[in-house]
Amino acid sequence: MSAVPGPSITKPARVPWLAAFLVEERAAWIFVAKTLLAMYITCWLAMLFQLEQPATAMITVAIVMHPQSGMVLAKSFYRAIGTLAGSLFGLALMSVFPQQRELFLLSLSLWVAICAGGATLYRNFAAYGFVLAGYTAAIVTLPAISDPLNVFDSAVMRVSEVLLGIIVSGVVSDLIFPERLREVLRRSAREHFAHFIDFARGSTGGSIARADMERAHMRFVRAAVQLEDLRASVIFEDPEARARSSRMRLLNLRYMAASTSFQSVHHLINRLERSRPDVAQALIALYSPIGKALSPGQGRDQDPGVLAPRLAECEDILPPMAAQLRTSLPPETWLEFDTGAGLLRRFASEMRDFTALEASLREGKLRGTVETVRFPRGNDFAGASISVLRTFLTMSALSVFWLMSGWPFGSSAMLLATIFSGLFGASAHPMSGIVNTMIGYASGMLAGYIVTFWLLPGGDGFTMLIIATMPLLMIGPYLSTRATLPGVGAGYTLGFVYILALKNPMVYDPTHFLNDAIAQIVGLGLTAVAFVFVPAVTGTQWQRRRQLGQLRRQVVLAATAPLEGLLYRFESVNRDLFHQIVSHTASGSPESRSLLAWALAVHECGRAVIELRRDIASSNVPHEVSVCAEEAVRAVAHLYQAPSKAYWLEADQAVERAIAATAGKLDLARSACQPTLHHLHLLRSALRDDESAMGPFIQLPPEPSHAS
Amino acid sequence: MPREIALADAFVPGLLLVFVACLLMLWVVDTIVGRFGLYRFVWHPPLFRLAIFVCMFGAAGLLLFR
């Protein structure tokens, strides 16, 4: 049904949907084959090494397998670390409280809860490592709770089983029909680069509609976060990518800086078109050399190796051209024009840095030292503490119930509840995820029942085991390749392998089977109950409000944090935060509009504030000017901390005062005051932009000429 | 090298430590090779990496059990 899609791929014209279908099926079945192969090799090795539960090793394979090998290796890495940490903690805990069940369970609940909280603070698979560190401690200790001396063996077994599963699945996915994540990264990096360059070139005409700008911004943000996420997984797959890892980060940071400057330029031009069209036209004329540098033509428009030297040349053209354009304008608009020209120069030099780095990366040779760059993330600790609370309540309620009832299979239920409340803690729709998983889990157990009591007893040997289990087992991995059924496939595989509990020799005990099945379903159900009582915060209104507040506080960070490395920290936290909020809002909704408006305002103001602070710190600005500018920075930070009309007025006046002070000193120290003045001016024009998020707070300032 | 090593009073097979050491060595080799992009001259890089690892681990293991 799937194996030979070859001829239809080469002739896609006849039945295009069939070709697409076959390509998709082919990928899916390769994945199924790889998963099954890895699972059976693991099972065979586990039996050969006489591990206690080959099922655990097989489950590890089922969990870690992913169509792309980079993902498998990254997930394996964190799974291994999490398992080791969890086992060590479990051992330590057991040796501290060998006799006191209550204290033991209390501290275990606390540990699992803290780990679940840690998981919500991290993106990628690092989160998964945290979840594992939590529930491995439970897995290792719970079965040995009535026999504390056993816990060491239990831990060694668990670690061996998991590591076996990890090694086999890593080797299988990396060696057999590997699908490279590197290709995905390269493709999307080139796409984003091309899109950015095209966008920058296409906007030579000057003004861009606010809505287009918002869409573009959204795409820039997605690109930055997506590239960073991919990079974090690709380094496990490809040593070459690992060697360039920090350079790729640097590229991403330059990309973010350039896109922010680009937006600032266009917002400024948009604003000027409304107030001073002649200045806007002059700036558009000044933009045209950049646009020209970006279009070498002859199909080389997206070749960074060609673009970088052209941009460097264009940087030399800009200052004389600016001086010439300036003379054609009336003197009272010079300040506005200079602000824009300064921004354009900054944009050109950032573009040059960005394209030059991209060119050197594509060239494939690494030169010079390797720089250390970080991509900090924006985290919300309140959300994490809610996750901690939920997991703690689930765990301790189950412990109490278990201790009071003396239910022999209580530990099974507890294990499942632990695992799933950790896994779903950070997801946006935990309820639907749990329900899907539960459906998959139950049907997997049903299939497991059929296999255990109808098919397996008749067979003998490993071949018969494969023949008996394969038909029903392969449903799981196949289902997990369907994007329409998230969670069902994984649940099915887990339920199937878990309840099958392959052993050598095999044990057939229907009572145990049914009791265990009931306990596991109860455990899963209890996870759902826990989410009803302490709902997930991801994607809720409450969290969005908090995140928006955090986004606004980014300006405060820009105004107060130490300058060293601040620009990159600001840019990447901004993007991460924004991406988190945006991924849970419907596009086009009023919410998302206001969010975008805020994001753009924060970006522009924050960047201007940082540049301003750099001016004050680096050059020999007169004392009076720096005092006024610092006050303006503080007032802007106040405004973003708690936006209101009063604070807006305060900020506007402070910026105005600083501009006046700087302009007064301009003749004394021109070289020092000029950039300060430009950045102050940019700040003022951003504050007074009535199309931005500042719109509702703007009050028309009383005209000074009418006063007194 | 003894076949079992006591780490904090727990006996750990010496081979496990050798395994971990070989992983670290592979990591170093990977870093160097990646820096100069030498894996491009190899037909199936993951297979090659695995082969290097098997050679290292095999040699170290044989030395251990000599």
Per-residue pLDDT tens over the stretch A577-590: 877 777 766 666 77
At residue A8 the predicted structure's pLDDT band, cuts being 50, 70 and 90, is very low
CA distance B40 to chain A (A): 9
Q: Is the pLDDT of residue A9 over 70?
A: no
Segment A429-456 shows an average pLDDT of 88
Q: What is the pLDDT of residue A708?
A: 36
- Kindly report the number of other CB atoms within 10 A of residue A476's CB atom: 27
Return d(Cα A222, Cα A217) in angstroms, integer.
Answer: 9
User: B37 and A238: CB-CB below 8 Å?
Assistant: no
Distance CA A441, CA A460 (A): 27
Record: contact B49-A69, CB cut-off 8 A: no
- Provide the chain B residues 4-43 that lie in CB contact (below 8 A) with chain A: 10, 30-31, 33-37, 39-40
A175–chain B Cβ distance below 8 A for any pair? yes
What is the value of ipTM here, to two decimals?
0.83
Tally C-beta pairs within 8 A across A and B. Answer: 35
What pLDDT shows up at residue A700?
66
> Rounded to whole angstroms, what are the CA distances from A229 to A184, A210, A232, A307, A377?
12, 29, 5, 27, 11
The A residues from 19 to 78 touching B (CB cutoff 8 Å) are 69
Q: Are A596 and A218 in contact (CB under 8 A)?
A: yes
Cis peptide leading into residue A505 (ω within 30°): yes
- Exposed/middle/buried for A206, CB within 10 Å: 0-12, 13-18, 19+? middle
* Residues of chain B with C-beta less than 8 angstroms from the C-beta of A364: 37
In order of A141, A166, A416, A494, A521, the CA distances from A413 in angstroms are 14, 25, 5, 14, 7
**B37 and A178: CB-CB below 8 Å?**
no
Residues β-bridged to residue A179: A68
pLDDT of residue A537: 66
pLDDT for the residue numbered A707: 39
DSSP string across A34-45: HHHHHHHHHHHH
Residues of A in contact with B30 (CB under 8 A): 239, 242
Among A151, A174, A246, the strongest candidate for a mutation testing the B interface, having the largest count of B CBs within 10 A, is: A174
CB contact under 8 A, B44 and A243: no
- Touching check for A91 and chain B: CB below 8 Å? no
Closest CA of chain A from B3, distance in Å: 18
* Per-chain mean pLDDT for chain A: 81
Question: What does the pLDDT look like over B3-42, one tens digit per residue?
Answer: 777 777 777 777 888 888 998 999 898 888 888 878 788 8
Mutate to test the interface with B, among A154, A234, A240 (most CBs of B within 10 A): A240
Q: Please enumerate in sequence order all residues whose Cβ is within 8 A of that of A144, keeping only pairs 6 or more positions apart, or say none.
A: A94, A150, A151, A154
Considering only the beta carbons, identify the residue of A175, A241, A365 that sits closest to B46: A175
CA A228 to chain B, closest CA, distance in angstroms equals 19
Residue of B15, B28, B35, B44 best to disrupt the A interface, most CBs of A under 10 A: B35
Which pLDDT value is given to residue A426?
Answer: 66
Return the exposure string of A500-522: e unless at least 16 CB atoms fall within 10 Å of the residue's CB, then b.
Answer: bbbeeeeeeeeeebeebbebbbb
Q: Characterise B13 by phi-psi region: left (phi > 0), alpha (psi -120 to 50), beta (else).
A: beta
The secondary structure element, H or E, covering residue A511 is helix A510-533
Percentage, residues of chain A above pLDDT 70: 92
Least confident of A275-289, A420-434, A511-525, B33-47: A420-434
State the smallest CA–CA distance between residue B63 and chain A in angstroms: 23
Tens of pLDDT, residue by residue over A286-342, are: 888 888 888 777 777 778 888 888 888 888 888 888 888 888 888 777 778 888 888
- Cβ within 8 Å, pair A243-B49: no
Rounded to whole angstroms, the Cα distance separating A39 from A57 reads: 8
CA distance B46 to chain A (A): 6
Single pTM value for the model: 0.80
Q: In this complex, which of A174, A175, A240 lies closest to B34 when CB atoms are compared? A: A240
Q: Taking residues A560-574, report their average pLDDT.
A: 81
Q: Domains of chain A by range and CATH?
A: 24-179+380-533 (no CATH), 181-363 (1.20.58), 578-697 (no CATH)
Residue A38 has a pLDDT of 94
> Which of A138-162 are b and which e, b meaning 16 or more Cβ less than 10 Å from the residue's Cβ?
bbbbbbbbeeeeebbebbbbbbbbb
Judging contacts by C-beta atoms under 8 Å, the chain B residues touching residue A84 are none
The DSSP string of B2-14 is -SEEEETTEEEEH
What residues contact A292, with CB distance under 8 A and at least 6 apart?
Answer: A314
Q: Which of residues 521-560 of A touch B (CB under 8 A)?
A: none
Query: In this model, does residue A427 exceed pLDDT 80?
Result: no
Q: A171–B30: do the CB atoms touch at under 8 Å? A: no
Residue A13's pLDDT is what?
55
Tokens of A575: 């993007």
Give me Rg for the CA atoms of chain A: 30
A270-274, A501-505, A534-538: range with lowest mean pLDDT: A534-538
CA-based nearest distance B66→chain A, Å: 23
B59–chain A nearest CA distance, Å: 20
> Does pLDDT of A528 surpass 50?
yes
Residues of B in contact with A152 (CB under 8 A): 10
Closest alpha carbon within chain A to B34: A240
What are the CA-CA distances from residue A688 to residues A209, A692, A693, B25 (Å)? 18, 9, 10, 59
- Measured N-to-C along each axis, helices A101-121 and A69-96 cross at an angle, to the nearest 10 degrees, of 150
